[in-house]
Structure 1
């Protein structure tokens, strides 16, 4: 029987065997997440093309006149989206970009030309330093100056004491790789003031700025108003197909549109992405504060669940989440906890930890937890029960 099975499934089995253990585990995790009956968040981008298009067509008539002519090189619906974003952020203008990487490079090179200084002060864990293959220096002629590598937001004292001059300060709000952390409102205003004292402009990497209002207790326009320019994403918080916007003074945005063209970002037609962004602004944006509040309930229940399970050490970071995303740290090798998370999903159809686990030193793993609409269905008791089941899939905790 074994020989027959291997012969009948030879090509598929060979292909499967060529994948690394990490790739096979990744595929199992994604399959378990798709099939899970309960999960704290289900990413829309993981759906099929049919599902994504069906959802868009169901929601689009609520946000835009579908009988209008489609866009050409950034007019019509794209221009309407830009106007909507500028209104939400309280800026004079906004420009649509296909990616945030492009938007931020353009913004900061425009500021560098105006200040005469290509140095950009930023956190060592900020997106351009970690995820963009040195695009600032390799593509845009900018020079990153690291303020700190501590897993927290920069302080006003660090900005004042930075040993070299800089033309712009870039602040990532929230700082994703440090645990989606934010400063307090008072700390943020002090950091901005410190940059102004050094005659620098301030740019917010606000990919997830939409999520920050609950933590700061301020509306979007007041938060964005602290900066000279702001970038926001349409898919990281709003579940759009992609895309980003750069918002700021009208003169900066007009210059940025010129550079957008030079960078190849003036795309012929972008109406599906623009439509999905408008849907996100209409449907998801109002719900983000609720997600943040419930993420705090989930985080507290996770802490309690791990304590009840008798784990020797576990950490939820930040202890009280600043957004609806946060980190969980456990004292295991990443492949061990990743296997436990996948098996829980496969065996119970409950996916407590749906994101990958990364190693952060010997015997220490970290994952990101996201709480969105699906997570609102979970009570604290549900979370604690899921933690008990998850830890039952771990090796002995002694």
Structure 2
């Protein structure tokens, strides 16, 4: 059944699949020996997948971290249109970093924002600051949320916080679960969208009800909005209205905006100023960050306006995938959610993950078309699951292109 991804990846790592792809060098792979250790075999598979993705002529999305350094540096071409390059360089968070913070706060409709090198740091700091205000270090969150899956228990080990799980179900938490939770909590953390469950979002009505339920319990609300930028289509609301439901919001500059890294914590000015002090204590007061800040400004200027078109086209791709998988005779194949909430979604197939991976890689290597570029995980016995992202390169794909690619993939899978 579609829902949470299998923990085939290391649950202690942050955005593990992305880290694996980024770390893997490109190059050909010799067939692995049958007695090869699993870790070495997985490493060879990663190398092969990255090489295939880099070499493919047609992909639905081409993540920045699998491109060359030259291509990444080119992201800053035209930076003079985004910021006056004759201004003094930044030092410990001033200059272009402050300009990025102001731009982010304006987009989200908050009083202020603070740049952070990582989301793990930003959200620990945010919730630590809220705990000091509420007097309650308990954070209610989803068991499939990023802190529980990818941060080595940092909330409790480093932040002095006490995370409690509202639910582990592969769907957003409900207002009834918030109201009925058996112990007090000072903050409710909501991941929008919930990646591990298929990039799921609640309806606008459900989201407002969950927020109201938290307020009834005198809890503050924090949005893990690393991918909040692409949620406007689903909610039918502007960014500022969505962010305005929460007391504080975290957004990423690299997940959807293709920046070099980092993110921002946005909220009331007093909270942000305290967060900056904690940022320094956590080691996040970096000497110079102008490349990252400029890349974030480039993402806000160039990539943010394109996200709605990616979301719309993801629905075209998903519909073609559903129809094509059924036509290929793959029983119980699923696209989840059936109509994507963002430009990313899951595909579930009734087969071994290694078989699905091999079919996807062979298709890319032999045809130059890579339909499925992400790793395949085990979704259960005899079930394989992967994620699909539709970006700029995916806009070129028609429904017929998807159908042809699925037919070729399915033939390799069942051969």
* TM range, smaller chain: over 0.9
Aligned-partner Cα distance in 1 for 2:411–2:182: 51
With 330-339 and 274-283 compared, the bigger mean Cα shift is at: 330-339
Aligned-partner Cα distance in 1 for 2:337–2:298: 30
Describe the superposition over 1:203-232 as per-residue Cα deviations: whole angstroms up to 9, x where unpaired.
000000001000000000000000000000
Structure 2 match to 1:31: 51
Unaligned runs of 5+ in 1: 1-11
Scaled by the length of structure 2, the TM-score of the pair is: 0.91
Deviation at 1:395, TM superposition (A): 2.7
Within the candidate set 113, 120, 130, 1:111 is matched to 130
Within the candidate set 358, 362, 366, 1:347 is matched to 366
Aligned-partner Cα distance in 2 for 1:332–1:93: 49
> Please, what is the CA RMSD of the aligned residues?
1.5
Q: Does 1:70 align with 2:89?
A: yes
Structure 1 match to 2:252: 233
Q: Does 1:141 align with 2:169?
A: no
Q: Is the 8 A contact 1:313 1:330 kept in 2?
A: yes
Aligned-partner Cα distance in 2 for 1:171–1:139: 20
Structure 2 match to 1:8: none
Residue correspondence of structure 1 range 153-192 to structure 2 within 5 A: 153-192=172-211
Residue correspondence of structure 1 range 116-135 to structure 2 within 5 A: 116-135=135-154
Question: Stretches of 4+ moved more than 3 A in 1?
Answer: 15-19
Equivalent residue of 1:365, what SS? Answer: strand
Scaled by the length of structure 1, the TM-score of the pair is: 0.94
Compare CA radii of gyration and give the structure with the larger one. Answer: 1
With 372-381 and 45-54 compared, the bigger mean Cα shift is at: 45-54
Aligned-partner Cα distance in 2 for 1:372–1:289: 10
Paired residues, number: 384
Equivalent residue of 1:389, what SS? Answer: helix
Within the candidate set 260, 277, 281, 1:262 is matched to 281
Q: Does 1:283 align with 2:302?
A: yes
Q: Is the 8 A contact 1:25 1:339 kept in 2?
A: no
Structure 2 match to 1:301: 320
Aligned-partner Cα distance in 2 for 1:216–1:198: 25
Within the candidate set 88, 91, 97, 2:107 is matched to 88
Structure 1 match to 2:41: 21
Residue correspondence of structure 1 range 33-72 to structure 2 within 5 A: 33-56=53-76, 58-72=77-91
